[in-house]
Amino acid sequence: MADEFKVDLSQLDSFGRVLKQSITDLEEARSALSAVGADQIGTPRLDEACETFQNRWKYGTGQLKDMIKAVDEGVEKTALSYRRFEDNLSQALKKMEETNAANTGGK
């Protein structure tokens, strides 16, 4: 049964790093896009369309950033919970082993 349910904590940690990097990447992309002024692109119509896109992109990346942060927090809490569970289980098993050894005279 234990083989059917496994949690790879290193994979959870890796996933958390990927999530954090995606936030950085989004911020860098938005920053690069905002560095180009709407009046630098071309015709007034194109400039207006680009400015509208930048405003929507800013809003959208803000929403994505909030969602990614929430998922990342959940991943961190999950990993911490599993680490605590493993530590507690290990301590409980050691205590049972010590109690058993004491009751059987170490046999």
CB 29 within 8 A of CB 58: no
Concatenated DSSP letters for 72-100?
HHHHHHHHHHHHHHHHHHHHHHHHHHHHH
CA angle 55, 59, 14 (to 5 degrees): 130
Taken in order 39, 40, 44, 48, is the CA torsion positive or negative? negative
Which pTM was predicted? 0.66
CB 65 within 8 A of CB 27: yes
pLDDT band at 3 (very low <50, low <70, confident <90, very high): low
Cβ atoms within 10 Å, residue 45: 8
Q: Taking residues 9-14, what's their average pLDDT?
A: 91
Q: Taking 60 as the threshold, does the pLDDT of residue 1 lie above it?
A: no
Q: Taking residues 65-93, what's their average pLDDT?
A: 93
Write the pLDDT tens digit of every residue in 47-78: 788 788 888 888 888 899 999 999 999 999 99
